[in-house]
């Protein structure tokens, strides 16, 4: 078994004052031979609420401010618990690697797609999304071009996010104003790819609806953490050899 990442996932059921159930997932992970040594984040209904930034030594909230503070003692101690979990995860990962006598790392190449955030209208500012998914290890590099020329202005790259299967996903976006005949492309680079993978988006005269997946559909949450952990499992990314 190849042991290059260990991810602990804690799942809890929470409900609001209206007794609407939601799923809370706590992810704690550590990686071998990457620039990023550990991960820790809290998700509610698949939406990230807070994550640990170990480089700056603090937690970073991604929950919209209008929803107010997250009422949970676990979250108030989130970064402190994440630091403890990082040490335990790294010790466990080192032990597993030693027992398996340093097996070769298994890598997963990213899948990628490109699509506009909103329906295209010529001359109206919009955003192109390049979505890379199911890759390991993180992160990916994304480059943009317009009509074959590199574009850097208006480009952003999100942090990477874990999937439940131990892989990761990541977004890059480009602000653009659709003009007939323009051709945009995003190129994804990853260690598991022999050659970079490029996706194209061409602007036509007639505006069309977005062909992208609904990956940006947010969930408005009014959160009240009343549940308890209902399940715990440890996932080890790798491949079993007979």
pLDDT recorded at residue 192 = 94
CATH architecture of residue range(s) 5-105+219-237: Roll (3.10)
pLDDT recorded at residue 46 = 73
Nearest to 161 by CA among 50, 21, 10: 50
CATH of 111-202, one of 1.10.630.10, 2.60.40.10, 2.40.50.140, 3.30.70.260: 2.60.40.10
d(CA 182, CA 120): 13
d(CA 170, CA 52): 17
Domain positions in the chain are: 5-105+219-237, 111-202
Each residue's pLDDT, cut to its tens digit, for the chain (242 residues) gives 343 445 554 544 444 445 667 677 778 777 665 545 667 887 777 778 788 888 888 888 886 654 555 555 556 678 888 888 887 877 777 777 676 666 667 899 999 999 999 999 999 999 999 999 999 999 999 999 999 999 999 999 998 888 988 899 999 999 999 999 999 999 999 999 999 999 999 998 754 444 443 333 333 332 332 232 223 233 344 433 33
Give the CA radius of gyration of the chain. Answer: 20
What Cα–Cα distance (Å) separates residue 49 from each residue in 23, 41, 214, 228? 12, 8, 19, 18
Q: Do the Cβ atoms of 96 and 3 come closer than 8 Å?
A: yes
Q: pTM (2 decimals)?
A: 0.54
Q: Do the Cβ atoms of 188 and 110 come closer than 8 Å?
A: yes
For 146, residues 6+ apart whose C-beta sits below 8 A from its C-beta are 176, 182, 183, 184
d(CA 54, CA 206): 47
């Amino acid at each position: 078994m190849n042991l290059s990442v260990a991810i602990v996932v804690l799942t809890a059921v929470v409900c609001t004052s209206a007794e609407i159930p939601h799923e809370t997932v706590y992810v704690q992970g550590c990686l071998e031979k990457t620039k990023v040594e550990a991960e820790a984040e809290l998700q509610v209904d698949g939406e990230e609420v807070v994550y640990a930034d170990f480089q700056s030594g603090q937690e970073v909230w991604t929950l919209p401010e209008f929803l107010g503070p997250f009422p949970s003692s676990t979250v108030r101690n989130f970064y402190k618990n994440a630091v403890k979990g990082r040490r335990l995860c790294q010790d466990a990962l080192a032990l597993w690697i030693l027992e398996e006598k340093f097996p070769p790392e298994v890598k997963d190449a990213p899948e990628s797609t490109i699509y506009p955030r909103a329906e295209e209208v010529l001359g109206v500012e919009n955003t192109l999304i390049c979505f890379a998914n199911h890759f390991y290890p993180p992160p990916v590099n994304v480059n943009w071009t317009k009509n074959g020329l590199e574009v850097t202005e208006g480009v952003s790259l999100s942090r990477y996010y874990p999937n439940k299967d131990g892989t990761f996903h990541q977004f890059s976006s480009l602000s653009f104003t659709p003009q007939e005949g323009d051709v945009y492309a995003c190129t994804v680079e990853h260690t598991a790819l022999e050659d970079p993978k490029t996706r194209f988006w061409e602007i036509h005269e007639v505006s069309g609806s977005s062909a992208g997946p609904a990956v940006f559909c947010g969930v408005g949450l009014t959160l009240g953490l009343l549940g308890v952990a209902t399940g715990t499992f440890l996932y080890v990314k790798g491949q079993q050899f007979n």
